[in-house]
């Protein structure tokens, strides 16, 4: 109930933390390259995402990032440009966006902590 009213959630022992404004799940699929080259390019994208300092969870199909909406949109664009710079002639990108500028979205930890 607290989160629905304030955009905040309990952290530990009554401490309150602000929810992220947005989160994205991004999957980049470099085209016109095969095998280990695909993995090399995807690894470059993941390396970049991790370098942003935002909360990130890497999964087998997509990487999830949470933070400021505008910054996340910039990161999504940069992920695509990295693929091209690294040698992909084209790419497919799948992006899921959760955005709530007024109350924040559920954090990665809220979504998965009970499952790990």
Domains and CATH numbers, the chain: 17-104 (3.30.70.930)
| 79 Cβ contact list (under 8 Å, min separation 6) | 26, 28, 45, 48, 49, 93
Q: How many CA atoms lie within 13 A of 46 on its CB side?
A: 16
Cβ(107)–Cβ(64) under 8 Å?
no
Geometric angle at alpha carbon 1, from 64 and 101, rounded to 5°: 45
* Distance (Å, whole) CA 113 – CA 39: 28
Q: Kindly give the confidence (pLDDT) of every residue in the chain, 116 residues in length, as a single tens digit, with 9 standing for 90 and above.
A: 334 434 444 455 555 568 999 999 999 999 999 999 999 999 999 999 999 999 999 999 999 999 999 999 999 999 999 999 999 999 999 999 999 999 889 999 999 999 98
Could you say which DSSP state residue 115 is in?
A: G
């Amino acid at each position: 109930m607290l989160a629905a009213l304030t955009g905040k959630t309990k952290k530990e022992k009554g401490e309150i933390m602000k929810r992220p404004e947005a989160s994205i799940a991004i999957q980049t699929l470099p085209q016109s390259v095969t095998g280990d080259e695909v993995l090399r390019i995807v690894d470059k994208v993941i390396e970049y995402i991790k370098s942003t300092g935002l909360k990130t969870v890497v999964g087998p199909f997509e990487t999830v990032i949470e933070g400021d909406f505008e910054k996340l949109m910039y990161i999504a664009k940069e992920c695509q440009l990295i693929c091209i710079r690294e040698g992909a002639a084209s790419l497919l990108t799948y992006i899921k966006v959760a955005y709530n500028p007024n109350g924040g979205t559920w954090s990665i930890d809220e979504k998965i902590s009970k499952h790990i």
